[in-house]
A = this chain, B = another copy of it.
Amino acid sequence: MVIIGCGFGGIEAVRSLSRADVEITLVDRTNHHLFQPLLYQVATANLSAPAISGPIRHILRREMQRGNLTILLGEVTGIDTAARSVTLDGREPIAYDHLIVAAGATHSYFGHDDWAAHAPGLKTLADAFTIRRRVLMAFEHAEREADPAKREAWLTFAVVGAGPTGVELAGQLAEIAHHTLHDEFRRIDSRRSRVVLVEGGPRVLGAFSEQLSQRALEQLQSLGVEVRTGASVTAIDAEGLSYAGTDGPQRIAAQTVVWAAGVAASKLGRALAELTGCTLDRAGRVVVEPDLSLAGHPEIHVVGDLAAAQSHPKRGAPTPVPGVSPAAKQMGRTAATNLLRRLRGEPTAAFRYNDYGALATIGRRAAIAMVDLPVFGRVHFSGMPAWLFWLFVHIYFLIGFRNRLVVLSDWAWAYFSFERQARVVAEAEADAHRPAAG
């Protein structure tokens, strides 16, 4: 069988299958598994890339030693559902009897792909390096800029989208400007930077309750972030962004814009739809059967961010599964189990999402949480307790004993010193946006 993608879903599927008497081929286009929930900390120079990513072969070394797992690096360029094979980089077709597609999602500019050059999104390590470079270089440009208006534009940072990633980025940017870089420049005062968080919806972190959302807003504001809700972005260019606000069209002159608004499923979703006639939702996600297989193709399962799945609780109506890492892991496990059931001729089970709650961090000692506890039921809390809880959960789930130690020590250092350990921009990274002479 073939598994496409080495995110949370793909890794769990491999782990669940490797003890069975099956032959597994895992393909991915990178050599590492990425702990995506902490990627924003690489983008904001708090963690190095290796701290939140591990080589796939090392993460799966125990599974590898069982002798039934092959890992191949390459980009899936085609799926042939009739011949049951997958093409890697346009070369060798790899035959499969069963296929699990866990190719994830990327960011979407809602049809405005020209915005990508001016407002990078955050999905890969390369994205994180791009954002890190732009943010750190913006202060350097400001230090060299003589024109006050241009200087101000270099010191203005706009984040589009107030979901978890946007809120985390905005909070970190405010901390960089107000603490980390304070006192390290001669001509500018980094504390006079503006961080503007632009959100189309009526409130930040809309997936949380109104009360928690309000707490998050207050915490953002106390960190110095300007929040603009009900603001639909209408244009992004090299000079900044325009939006339609509640009080008419507005313009923010900002040299640094980060995109944290839209998510689009991997283009393998479209490929599957063309081949099998399966339905895609608005975000391009593949609508799957209750057991996570593809309608009419029981040999294909789709999991993780690429799947538009429903959770089937013991009682009550099915509910949509959110695009978070615990859901991806659980889908990976369910797909693997169902696949093995099929091989044994047993009936498959519908996917049930175990929702432990949701967490979002905003900055130093600032976070919100809603958690399902055994006795108390769903509990909402915010501020320092939520932040400590967030810390514990993220360290706990970080893959690999070693990375946990690295991240923990990096965080302890950053917390007490206000310094960031990864404030380094490598020289030759490609970036079309980088102004050649300034």
Contact = CB atoms under 8 A, between A and B. Distances in A.
Interface stretch (A14-22, A136-144, A310-318): A136-144
A148 to B, nearest CB: 16
6 contacts: A48-B422, A55-B136, A55-B424, A61-B183, A125-B424, A406-B421
Nearest to A74: B144
A73 B30 CA distance: 32
A239 interface: no
Interface in A24-47: 29-32
Interface of A: 29-32, 48-51, 53-55, 57-58, 61, 64-65, 67, 69-74, 88-92, 124-126, 129, 136-137, 140, 143-144, 146, 181, 183-187, 402, 405-406, 409, 413, 417, 419, 421-430, 436-438
A365 B395 CA distance: 34
Contact of A48 (B51, B92, B409): B51
B424 A126 contact: no
5 smallest CB-CB distances across A and B, nearest first, come from A126-B428, A48-B48, A57-B184, A125-B426, A55-B423
Contacts of A92: 144, 146
Contact of A89 (B65, B88, B438): B438
Contacts of A187: 70
Contact of A402 (B50, B74, B413, B426): B413
A215 to B, nearest CB: 33
The oligomer's copy count stands at 2
Most B CB contacts (10 A, CB to CB) among A57, A71, A90 go to A57
A70 B188 CA distance: 11
A438 B73 CA distance: 9
A49 B47 CA distance: 11
B184 A144 contact: no
A27 to B, nearest CB: 10
Given A91-B437, A91-B438, A49 B424 contact: yes
Contact of A429 (B136, B422, B430): B430
Contacts of A55: 136, 423-424
A418 B425 CA distance: 28
A184 B56 CA distance: 10
A187 to B, nearest CB: 7
A229 B277 CA distance: 63
B424 A136 contact: no
Nearest to A73: B140
Nearest to A436: B89
Contacts of A143: 71-73
B183 A64 contact: yes
